[in-house]
Structure 1
Amino acid sequence: MTVALSALARQASAAMPFRPSRLPPSQVPPDGLSRPDARVRVTLHALLDRCAALGPDLPNGYTNHLPMALHALAGLGADADRLETFAQRYLARQGLAWADGVDAPEASSPARVLPGWQRLRGQPEAYGPLREAMAQGLALHGTGPWVRGVLPALWPGLGAAALHGPIRVAHALQSGHAGELASALAFWASRWRPLPEVAAADPLPPADWAAALQAAAGQLRLEAPSISRRLAEAGRSPLYRDVLARAPQALPLGETLARLVPLAVQGYAMTGDFTVLHLVTGLRAVRVLLPWLPPQADAGVLRRVVVAGWLAAPLHRATPQPLPAPDSLPAWSALRAAACAQDDDHVIKLVHACQDHAAQGLAAGRACRQAAARALARPAG
């Protein structure tokens, strides 16, 4: 398997979708990207209002995906009734229910909450105060200034909650819902946990390093029950340090992202691995966050998260499957319709991310459709 993935890595890294150090122009697929109509936007915002009363975690301890999945469904073209139905089914499946009323967070003095919020990073029990701080900051300063001021402090903890921190923030930004954005920023902050930095030693050319990364697939056999814990375990491994020490150091964040997206997309298309799925959706989040980050944002943070995520994936148990032939792949319109009919929130977000990667030119459209088709073929449950 590692031989096949290494060959894939060289092909993907060599086929840069745009000139290095530049973000690509938007390249909309031939049948277009869905744009939610007015009723969908109203319904989405009403549901996100109600999501504010839900905690960031489910009763089983895993992340609450409902706000993210609702925005992804709207982006895929789901109508208002489908959003309502999905929300009700998700709540029932997770043993949750809407609160009778939506209570806004209690207001308190900004002087008490806003200064020093960074001291609460990485403390899950501080989600409530962090949400209050984020809501106050957004109200006092506006979305643009507050988000641009907060993201540099959150960026080193990009892998928060198996990348669900930045994923939720990206969906919230695109939804245009201030309450959900406050919740998303607070969730990222409360789960903030940077991965270890590694000093450079004998860096490889980008294509060779990408091949070395893919060749490390499955070499760690981590048994932790959650992706977050496996990410932390991977970050403590000698293999993590070896791979990162040889990473190219001069690539800016935009080009680093451009070289990693095709590897994650094609890696998921070949293996269907659940951890790699989170890399695909997490890299989409990074693309959304790029305009909100300072130009000098550390690309090493992204490399560390992707390396740890790749090593944390149980690819020693994966059996790569042949990719569907291009002429047998459904069109984006069919893939979107199939995703909208899904109740699996991970599949919905994966198809949404693949569509977005293709639209932005960050991965070949064929590879993105192959990955989306692979997700839609996942067994239910």
Structure 2
Amino acid sequence: MLEELLARAQDYDIDTKVGGFTNHLPMALIALDRLGASDARLKEYFQMYSENLKPLEYTSITEEFNWFEHLGERDKFGAYLEYYTNKINLNGWQAVLRSHIDKIIQGCAASAFHALIRLSYGIIQENAKEITFGLAHLSSHYLRLPESSKSENEPSAILNNALNTFSDYVASGDTITNRMIDIANHNKFTNINKFSSGLSLASLSHLFTQLYLRSSDFTVLHAVTSCHAMRIVLPYIEDKENALVGYWSAALVAILSVENLELRDVCEIQTKSLEQLNVEIAAKSNDDHLIKLVFSCIEEHKNYKSINHMKILVSKLVK
């Protein structure tokens, strides 16, 4: 049933009918399936969500199309979709992913990480068409960021300095992506766009989950779920260090785009085992972000044995 619904979902645009909002349907369906949702529930969710979507308009590649030169040109999504479809049909998705991902991962802030997340879900599902959509989305919405510089400070110290620097600034824009672009273009960003030597995805996962536990912020949620996505994509990347530096800069931009980010002390949360969680709460929810957050936290907890991910799960699934 899942594969059938994914095939139908791939007839829709990457954005919803409401401008500026990303289509989460394929990702939510995969997450629901992994959370144990029944076929009937998957069909119900598809019917509910697809009412807010618009049909995908296919366009063809022109002779002058060059995948590298057109990165970040949103109107080229259709061309990228055809380009990656043709490449994957000839060479298979693993080879195509490996030959392109080192470049396009540097634009991973695309659509507030949703392109990266869709790509990772395609990899999890081993669905070539979903991977095609993820690659095309990441390429056409590629978000260039200023180059960062190395620091001897830990990521938490770099983040705190960045938050202090931007404490009086409110990013402009009606979407997360537009606010991220505003931060990236701010003249102060270059000075605080630093990365730690020996940067690791595990350390970022810990930092972002701690930040979410202290804020429950919607944008920070995307840092948590995108960190899971990076773990899935990273094995296909040759220059992992450079990819992590680019991802960290993107996450920094996202966090700084939050207006008046309030960080409170973390409430005492009694941890549970995965078996004690009521995952059905997420499986019955129509909130695509909750569904994906729960799925990501379960997978990250399995990988890292992370207390922070478990605390997030308890806060969402224990009533």
Query: When the two structures are superposed, what TM-score results if normalisation uses the length of structure 2?
Result: 0.88
In structure 2, the residue matched to 1:147 is 97
In structure 2, the residue matched to 1:342 is 285
1:177 to 120, 123, 127: 127
Question: In 2, distance between residues paired with 1:221 and 1:333?
Answer: 41
Which amino acid counterpart does residue 78 of structure 1 have in structure 2?
Answer: A
Question: In 2, distance between residues paired with 1:151 and 1:304?
Answer: 17
**Is the contact between residue 102 and residue 239 of structure 2 (CA under 8 Å) also seen in structure 1?**
no
Which amino acid counterpart does residue 221 of structure 1 have in structure 2?
Answer: V
In structure 2, the residue matched to 1:369 is 310
Question: In 1, distance between residues paired with 2:286 and 2:245?
Answer: 35
Match runs of 1:185-334 below 5 Å: 185-200=135-150, 203-206=151-154, 209-214=155-160, 216-217=162-163, 219=167, 220-245=169-194, 247-248=195-196, 250-251=197-198, 255-298=199-242, 299-314=244-259, 316-318=260-262, 320=264, 322-326=266-270, 331=274, 334=277
Question: In 1, distance between residues paired with 2:161 and 2:310?
Answer: 24
Task: Tell me by how many angstroms 1:367 deviates.
Answer: 1.3
Question: In 1, distance between residues paired with 2:256 and 2:285?
Answer: 29
Is the alpha carbon distance of 1:53 and 1:355 closer, same or farther for their aligned partners in structure 2, counting shifts above 3 Å?
A: same
**Is the contact between residue 145 and residue 250 of structure 2 (CA under 8 Å) also seen in structure 1?**
yes
State the number of aligned residues: 313
Task: Tell me by how many angstroms 1:266 deviates.
Answer: 1.6
Is the alpha carbon distance of 1:257 and 1:296 closer, same or farther for their aligned partners in structure 2, counting shifts above 3 Å?
A: closer
Question: In 2, distance between residues paired with 1:330 and 1:296?
Answer: 32
Question: In 1, distance between residues paired with 2:33 and 2:122?
Answer: 12
In structure 1, the residue matched to 2:23 is 64
**Is the contact between residue 265 and residue 354 of structure 1 (CA under 8 Å) also seen in structure 2?**
no
Task: Tell me by how many angstroms 1:70 deviates.
Answer: 0.8
**Cα RMSD between the aligned structures?**
2.6
Is the alpha carbon distance of 1:222 and 1:296 closer, same or farther for their aligned partners in structure 2, counting shifts above 3 Å?
A: closer
Q: Which structure has the larger Rg over C-alpha atoms? A: 1
Is the alpha carbon distance of 1:276 and 1:141 closer, same or farther for their aligned partners in structure 2, counting shifts above 3 Å?
A: same
**Is the contact between residue 277 and residue 317 of structure 2 (CA under 8 Å) also seen in structure 1?**
no
In structure 1, the residue matched to 2:33 is 74
Is the alpha carbon distance of 1:321 and 1:58 closer, same or farther for their aligned partners in structure 2, counting shifts above 3 Å?
A: farther
In structure 2, the residue matched to 1:16 is none
Match runs of 1:22-37 below 5 Å: none
Q: CA offsets, 1:334-373, max 9 Å, x none?
A: 2422111110000111111111111111xx5331122234
**Is the contact between residue 134 and residue 182 of structure 1 (CA under 8 Å) also seen in structure 2?**
yes
Q: CA offsets, 1:23-61, max 9 Å, x none?
A: xxxxxxxxxxxxxxxxxxxx1111111112100111112
In structure 1, the residue matched to 2:4 is 46
Which amino acid counterpart does residue 260 of structure 1 have in structure 2?
Answer: L
Query: When the two structures are superposed, what TM-score results if normalisation uses the length of structure 1?
Result: 0.75
**SS across alignment from 2:30:** helix
**SS across alignment from 1:130:** helix
**Is the contact between residue 73 and residue 141 of structure 2 (CA under 8 Å) also seen in structure 1?**
yes
**Is the contact between residue 169 and residue 181 of structure 1 (CA under 8 Å) also seen in structure 2?**
yes
Task: Tell me by how many angstroms 1:330 deviates.
Answer: 7.3
Is the alpha carbon distance of 1:270 and 1:373 closer, same or farther for their aligned partners in structure 2, counting shifts above 3 Å?
A: farther
Task: Tell me by how many angstroms 1:122 deviates.
Answer: 1.1
Question: In 2, distance between residues paired with 1:184 and 1:287?
Answer: 15
**Is the contact between residue 160 and residue 166 of structure 1 (CA under 8 Å) also seen in structure 2?**
yes
Is the alpha carbon distance of 1:326 and 1:238 closer, same or farther for their aligned partners in structure 2, counting shifts above 3 Å?
A: farther
**SS across alignment from 2:13:** coil
Q: Which runs of 5+ in 2 are unaligned?
A: none
Q: Which runs of 5+ in 1 are unaligned?
A: 1-42
Select the structure that is richer in strand.
2
Task: Tell me by how many angstroms 1:313 deviates.
Answer: 2.1
Question: In 1, distance between residues paired with 2:191 and 2:2?
Answer: 45
